[in-house]
Amino acid sequence: MIEVTILNYLNSVEGLAPTKMEVPPTPPTRFYVLDKTGSDLDDHIKRSTFAVQSYAPSKYEAAQMNESVKEAMLNGLLALDEIVDVDLNSDYDYTDTQENRYRYQAVFDVTHY
């Protein structure tokens, strides 16, 4: 599954906070959540959309984490055999007002095998 491939990659990048597939019951101070939001198959080419949410104690730190994960996704993910292309779709402040937690979200389009 491409989700596991990207999750394992992000958790292997030195300097990034831990990446989870969902918010843990007792979340750490800083962490990422990887979420596959959609996919497409055209002429045997798979394309998936992923959102990576950066959680931190301040909006500034969440924004910094967002920049770090964008760099990791755009500059390192292509080294994996399963990945053909990575494009940043969008990124923005996505503060969780219900839980009162700062977060940013970056959305990526990933072409993969």
**pLDDT of residue 99 exceeding 90:** no
**pLDDT of residue 34 exceeding 90:** yes
In terms of pTM, does the model score above 0.85? yes
Domains within the chain, CATH numbers bracketed: 2-112 (3.30.2000.10)
Quote the CA–CA distance of 17 and 10 in Å, as a whole number.
Answer: 9
Each residue of 57-98: pLDDT tens digit?
999 999 999 999 999 999 999 999 999 999 999 999 999 999
Q: Which residues pair with 88 in a beta bridge?
A: 108
Query: How does residue 44 score in pLDDT terms, banded at 50, 70 and 90?
Result: confident
Q: Which helix (H) or strand (E) holds 11?
A: helix 2-12
pLDDT at 113: 87
pLDDT at 6: 98
Angle at 9 between CA 39 and CA 46, to 5 degrees: 20
Q: Please name the residues in contact with 44: beta carbons below 8 A apart, sequence gap of 6 or more.
A: none
**pLDDT of residue 40 exceeding 90:** yes
